C-alpha cells in the first residue's frame, strides 16, 4: 500500500524501518479505503514516522506507551517552527488530531475517549479529572474539551518553568501564570482560562495532591453586567456575505445553508452541527432543533429560503454517506461537521467580504438575528424564546442599543440634535 503513494523505494524503506511501521501501514490502508486524498496521506505519514522516532527516543518500547508521548511530541514540533500563537495552536491541534486518529484505530483499548482522553493535560498525575468533570460536575463533552484546551496552556507554562510536580504549586507560580497569559488573551478567553484552572485546583485539593486550596490565588477578570455591546452586523453586510458564497460548488451549497440557519434562526454553532436529516419535517415544513443549551427542543417553521438552500445541498452538495447528521465534511471520510468548523465557516465569509467585527464567527450571525428582531419591535421575552436564551438577562443587553438611531447620529452633521 505504501508503494501506491511513495515513488522512491528508499522512502518506503525508511517508513518500514520505523518500529511503528505496522501501525502506519494499517492507518494508510484505513485512509485509502475511505477515499482520503493522496496529498493527505503524503503529509501524515512522515508526521507519524517522526512521532514513532520521538517516542522511541523517550524510552517507548510498546505501542500501549505511545499515548503518553503525544503532547511532548506536539510541543517539540511547535518549538521547531516560528509563528504566531494562534497559528501554533491550530497547527498543534492538527498534529494532535492525526496522532489521536491513528491511536484510536490501532489501539482498541484507547478507542473510547471517555475512558482515555489521548493527550489530556496532566494525565500522569490526575487521570481522573475528565471523569470528575463528566460524572461529578455533569459537563458536556464540548465543555470538557475546553477544559483540556485551557489546561494544556497551564501545563505548557509549568513545563517551561520546570515545575513538573503539581504538589509544589504556589500562589506565586499561579499569579505569574495568570499575568503571563493575560498578555496575549482577551477578557473572555481569560475568564475561561482562569475558571478552568480554579476548578482544576479545587480538584487537586480534593484529591490531596496539594496541601491547601489555591483556587483563590487565581482571580477572574472583573466583569460588569451589560458592559459589552452585541457583536451584530447590519443586513447589508449579511447580504454581501451571502452573495460571496460560491453556490456552484458543493462546499458552497453547504456553507450557504449553514449561514442561513445561523442568521435566520439565530442558532448556535453546536446546534447547527447536531442537526440531522430526521430534524427536517418536510411534510409539515418544520425544523426541529434538539438538545439546546437550555435543555429543551425548539420547533421552527421552515423558511422557504432556508429550505431551498438545504434541498440544494442535499441534492448536489452532500457527500453520499449513511451518516444521519445533516452537514458533513467534504473531504473523506466525510465525518459530521463539528461545531468549531461551523463557526470557522462563518468567520471565513465575514473576513472574505471585509466585515470588521470583534471575534467574527457564528455568534456574530446569532447576535445579528437577535438585534434584527429587537429593531423590529419584538418583546425581549419573545426574542429570548426564539433564540433559546436560558435567562432573560442574556437578551437584555440588546435593549440598550438602538443601532439604527445611533448610526444616524454618527453619520449626521449634528445640527438636528437638541
Q: What is the pLDDT of residue 54?
A: 95
Q: Considering the candidates 69, 345, 363, 372, report the single residue annotated as catalytic.
A: 363
**8 counts as catalytic:** no
Q: What is the pLDDT of residue 79?
A: 81
**Structure letter (DSSP) for residue 358:** S
Q: Considering the candidates 212, 286, 293, 359, report the single residue annotated as catalytic.
A: 293
Q: How far is Cα 170 from Cα 230, in angstroms, rounded to an integer?
A: 38
**5 counts as catalytic:** no
Cell digits for 80? 521547531
In this structure, the chain runs to a length of 418
**Structure letter (DSSP) for residue 288:** E
Q: What is the mean pLDDT of the chain?
A: 85
Topology at the third CATH level for domain 123-221 = DNA polymerase; domain 1 (1.10.150)
Helix (H) or strand (E) holding 63: none
**351 counts as catalytic:** no
DSSP three-state, residue 182: helix
Of 79, 78, 68, 162, which Cα lies nearest the Cα of 119? 68
Q: Considering the candidates 152, 198, 254, 389, report the single residue annotated as catalytic.
A: 389
The share of the chain scoring above pLDDT 90, in percent, equals 44
417 in the Ramachandran plot: left (φ > 0), alpha (ψ -120 to 50) or beta?
beta
Q: What is the pTM of this model?
A: 0.61
Residue 168: partners with Cβ closer than 8 Å, 6 or more residues away: none
Q: Considering the candidates 96, 254, 268, 367, report the single residue annotated as catalytic.
A: 268
Q: How far is Cα 43 from Cα 19, in angstroms, rounded to an integer?
A: 19
Average pLDDT over residues 377-397: 77
**398 counts as catalytic:** yes
- 216-259 pLDDT, tens digit per residue, is 888 887 765 555 656 778 889 999 999 999 999 999 999 999 99
Q: Considering the candidates 69, 152, 318, 366, report the single residue annotated as catalytic.
A: 366
Superfamily in which the 235-392 domain is placed by CATH: Intergrase catalytic core (1.10.443.10)
Q: What is the pLDDT of residue 118?
A: 44
- CB burial string 71-96: b at 16+ within 10 A, e below: bebbbebbeeeeeeeeebeeebeebb
- 279-334 pLDDT, tens digit per residue, is 999 999 999 998 777 667 889 999 999 999 999 999 999 998 889 999 999 887 88
Lowest-pLDDT range, 81-95, 213-227, 395-409? 395-409
How deeply is 255 buried, as exposed, middle or buried, from its count of CB atoms within 10 A (0-12, 13-18, 19+)?
buried
- 70-81 pLDDT, tens digit per residue, is 989 998 888 876
**293 counts as catalytic:** yes
Amino acid at each position: 500500500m505504501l508503494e501506491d503513494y511513495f515513488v522512491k523505494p528508499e522512502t518506503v524503506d525508511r517508513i518500514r524501518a520505523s518500529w511503528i511501521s505496522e501501525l502506519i501501514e494499517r492507518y494508510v490502508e484505513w485512509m485509502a479505503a475511505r477515499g482520503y486524498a493522496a496529498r493527505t496521506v503524503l503529509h501524515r505519514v512522515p508526521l507519524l514516522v517522526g512521532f514513532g522516532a520521538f517516542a522511541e527516543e523517550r524510552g517507548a518500547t510498546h505501542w500501549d506507551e505511545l499515548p503518553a508521548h503525544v503532547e511532548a511530541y506536539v510541543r517539540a514540533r511547535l518549538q521547531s517552527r516560528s509563528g504566531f500563537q494562534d497559528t501554533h495552536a491550530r497547527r498543534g491541534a492538527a498534529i494532535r488530531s492525526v496522532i489521536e486518529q491513528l491511536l484510536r484505530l490501532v489501539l482498541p483499548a484507547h478507542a473510547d475517549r471517555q475512558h482515555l482522553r489521548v493527550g489530556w493535560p496532566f494525565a500522569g498525575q490526575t487521570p481522573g479529572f475528565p471523569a470528575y468533570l463528566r460524572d461529578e460536575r455533569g459537563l458536556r463533552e464540548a465543555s470538557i474539551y475546553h477544559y483540556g484546551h485551557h489546561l494544556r496552556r497551564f501545563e505548557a507554562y509549568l513545563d517551561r518553568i520546570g515545575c513538573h510536580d503539581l504538589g509544589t504549586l504556589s500562589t506565586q507560580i499561579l499569579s505569574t501564570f495568570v499575568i503571563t497569559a493575560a498578555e496575549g488573551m482577551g477578557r473572555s478567553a481569560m475568564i475561561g482560562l482562569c475558571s478552568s484552572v480554579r476548578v482544576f485546583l479545587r480538584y487537586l485539593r480534593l484529591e490531596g495532591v496539594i496541601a491547601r486550596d489555591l483556587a483563590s490565588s487565581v482571580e477572574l477578570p472583573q466583569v460588569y453586567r451589560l458592559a459589552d455591546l452585541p457583536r451584530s452586523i447590519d443586513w447589508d453586510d449579511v447580504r454581501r456575505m451571502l452573495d460571496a458564497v460560491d453556490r456552484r460548488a458543493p462546499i458552497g451549497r453547504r456553507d450557504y445553508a449553514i449561514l442561513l440557519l445561523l442568521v435566520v434562526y439565530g442558532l448556535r454553532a453546536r446546534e447547527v452541527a447536531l442537526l440531522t436529516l430526521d430534524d427536517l419535517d418536510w411534510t409539515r415544513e418544520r425544523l426541529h432543533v434538539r438538545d439546546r443549551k437550555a435543555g429543551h427542543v425548539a420547533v421552527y417553521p421552515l423558511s422557504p429560503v432556508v429550505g431551498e438552500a438545504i434541498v440544494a445541498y442535499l441534492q448536489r452538495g452532500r457527500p453520499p454517506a449513511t451518516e444521519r447528521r445533516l452537514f458533513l465534511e467534504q473531504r473523506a471520510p466525510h465525518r459530521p461537521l463539528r461545531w468549531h468548523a461551523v463557526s470557522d465557516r462563518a468567520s471565513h465569509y465575514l473576513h472574505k467580504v471585509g466585515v470588521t467585527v470583534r471575534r467574527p464567527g457564528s455568534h456574530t450571525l446569532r447576535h445579528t438575528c437577535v438585534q434584527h428582531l429587537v429593531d423590529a419591535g419584538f418583546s425581549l421575552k419573545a426574542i429570548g424564546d426564539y433564540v433559546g436564551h436560558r435567562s432573560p438577562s442574556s437578551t437584555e443587553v440588546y435593549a440598550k442599543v438602538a443601532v439604527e438611531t445611533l448610526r444616524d447620529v454618527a453619520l449626521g452633521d449634528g445640527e438636528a440634535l437638541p
